[in-house]
Amino acid sequence: MSSSLEITAEIISIGDELLIGQTMNTNAGWMGEQLSLIGIRPVRVRVIGDDREAILTALSTSTADVVLLTGGLGPTKDDITKQVLCEFFDTRLVRHPHIEAAIAGFFRSIAREPLDVNLAQADLPESCTVVPNDRGTASGMWFGKESRVFVSMPGVPYEMKAMMEKHVLPELRRVFNPPSIVHRTLLTTGLGESHLAQRIAAWEDSLAQEGIKLAYLPSPGLVKLRLSTYANNDPTGARDRVAQKAEQLYRLIPELIFGEGEERLELVVGRLLKENGQTLSTAESCTGGYVSHLITSVPGSSAYFIGGVVSYANAVKMEELGIPSDMLELNGAVSQPVVERMAQGVRQALKTDWSIALSGVAGPDGGTDEKPVGTVWMAVAGPDGVQAAKVYLPGTRDLVIKRSALAVLNMLRKSLLIRDLGKS
């Protein structure tokens, strides 16, 4: 499977709490992703306890070019990684005075005196290169051994990630000069993985001749499309090739792509509203506040989000949103007239430029033959009136809520874009 030219990596996660499921091992997946993004292939992850023999076995049976360890660098007596590394690399701990001073300074900054065990974090193996920890007191350690590299980092994700991004990944690129890879990730919503694949099949077939690979990365309500190619000695050419294919995809499925990279739909919508100086309100039934939670999870969202109504009972739909009782009786709460009136009602009540509304059957109970669980009516009201759409997104209660929230945010995004186009 692996070519002999590939640079390989192995991750060793150390900690009893990982083995017994007390702490989820999120580090290994993140590190694997980061390594593969710079062209180093992760081939194995091992999770072991804070146990001398287990650590020694893992170190001595590793064969990858790069071995990254996390965990076991804390100040308590279970944390033995540093001692075991000394044993494996046949070196000894030495005190680093400037690190000791930094640790003491950190503790005084939070008005505490450092204990001896805290200062002992400045004891580091003599033969390693110290990797600075900008977010904590446990330093990283970089060991070279016969053209291979071993790096030990703290297990706290926030500290490890900063250390990887700032020091370890750049240094690995410098040392191994892995075949550079150009990536671009387009974010889509509105079509499931298999239907999306069908829709873009011809385009996907055309990627091979450009040496571009495509990965589908699905999550509830979203499919990320990751394009990647080797840059070889022509990074500009590689970027251009990927850009050309991305451009074709934008023309092919413009309504499905909402952003790139780490973008989220609620950020995109927020940015569009902010750019236009416009405001938003929400009226939610089946999603029960989840849409407004997504919107307000964005820092600064108070600039455009005015508020919302969660109208779980029909009485609230009538009183707060001005929906006539005969409309509810005639059509049922999950219907086009009701969801349109919900959107218009909240837009008027909260005096916003835009509003969104949802009414659906989240389940597990309440489904009928005509309106099974997963049936959701959604509406967007704006300066040009109101429009509604029905979607069918079956699944667990949690999935119905999450997928319909993304669907209505995407509907709003399209309405905002169309109006922008109309103005220009």
CB of 220 to a second copy, least distance (A): 13
Question: Is position 389 an interface residue for a second copy (rule: CB under 8 A)?
Answer: no
Question: Is position 215 an interface residue for a second copy (rule: CB under 8 A)?
Answer: yes
Among 177, 198, 302, 325, binds a second copy (CB under 8 A): 302
7 residue type, one letter = I
Interactions with a second copy, residue window 344-363 (CB under 8 A) = 349-351, 362-363
Distance CA 149, CA 176 (A): 10
Among 7, 14, 39, 46, binds a second copy (CB under 8 A): 46
Question: Is position 277 an interface residue for a second copy (rule: CB under 8 A)?
Answer: no
Q: Is the Cβ of residue 139 or residue 292 nearer to a second copy in the bound state?
A: 292
Among 201, 313, 330, 418, binds a second copy (CB under 8 A): 313
Q: What are phi and psi of 51, to 5 degrees?
A: -140, 125
Question: Is position 371 an interface residue for a second copy (rule: CB under 8 A)?
Answer: no
Question: Is position 202 an interface residue for a second copy (rule: CB under 8 A)?
Answer: no
CB of 285 to a second copy, least distance (A): 9
Task: Give the DSSP per-residue string, 62-88.
Answer: --SSEEEEE---SSSTT--HHHHHHHH
Question: Is position 372 an interface residue for a second copy (rule: CB under 8 A)?
Answer: no
Question: Is position 28 an interface residue for a second copy (rule: CB under 8 A)?
Answer: yes
Q: Is the Cβ of residue 158 or residue 250 nearer to a second copy in the bound state?
A: 158
Distance CA 343, CA 380 (A): 6
List 140's β-bridge partners, or say none. 131
Q: Is the Cβ of residue 9 or residue 149 nearer to a second copy in the bound state?
A: 9
404 in Cβ contact with 393 (< 8 Å): yes
Question: Is position 135 an interface residue for a second copy (rule: CB under 8 A)?
Answer: no
The set of residues, in sequence order, having a beta carbon less than 8 Å from that of 36 and lying 6+ positions away, is 42
Q: Mutual orientation of helices 336-350 and 314-321 as an angle, nearest 10°?
A: 50
Among 179, 288, 332, 367, binds a second copy (CB under 8 A): 288
Distance CA 214, CA 211 (A): 10
Question: Is position 48 an interface residue for a second copy (rule: CB under 8 A)?
Answer: yes
CB of 146 to a second copy, least distance (A): 21
Q: Is the Cβ of residue 36 or residue 387 nearer to a second copy in the bound state?
A: 36
List 389's β-bridge partners, or say none. 378
Q: What are phi and psi of 267, to 5 degrees?
A: -75, -45
Question: Is position 47 an interface residue for a second copy (rule: CB under 8 A)?
Answer: yes
Cα dihedral: 7, 13, 14, 19 (round 10): -140
CB of 1 to a second copy, least distance (A): 5
Q: Is the Cβ of residue 212 or residue 405 nearer to a second copy in the bound state?
A: 405
Count other Cβ atoms within 10 Å, centred on residue 52: 13
320 in Cβ contact with 309 (< 8 Å): yes
# residues contacting a second copy (CB under 8 A)? 70
Q: What is the CA 183 to chain-centroid distance, rounded?
A: 16
Helix intervals (H) in 96-190:
97-109, 116-119, 157-163, 169-176
Q: Which residue has the tokens 């033959």?
A: 369
CB of 342 to a second copy, least distance (A): 12
Question: Is position 292 an interface residue for a second copy (rule: CB under 8 A)?
Answer: yes
Among 115, 217, 252, 330, binds a second copy (CB under 8 A): 217
The helix/strand/coil state of 255 is: coil
Among 122, 295, 338, 400, binds a second copy (CB under 8 A): 295
Q: Is the Cβ of residue 139 or residue 178 nearer to a second copy in the bound state?
A: 178
Could you tell me the sign of the dihedral formed by the alpha carbons of 289, 295, 298, 301, in that order? negative
Q: Is the Cβ of residue 71 or residue 99 nearer to a second copy in the bound state?
A: 71
Distance CA 43, CA 46 (A): 10
Residues that bind a second copy (CB under 8 A): 1, 18-26, 28-34, 36, 42-49, 51, 54, 61, 215, 217, 282, 284, 287-293, 295-297, 299-302, 305-313, 315-316, 319-320, 349-351, 362-365, 397-398, 401
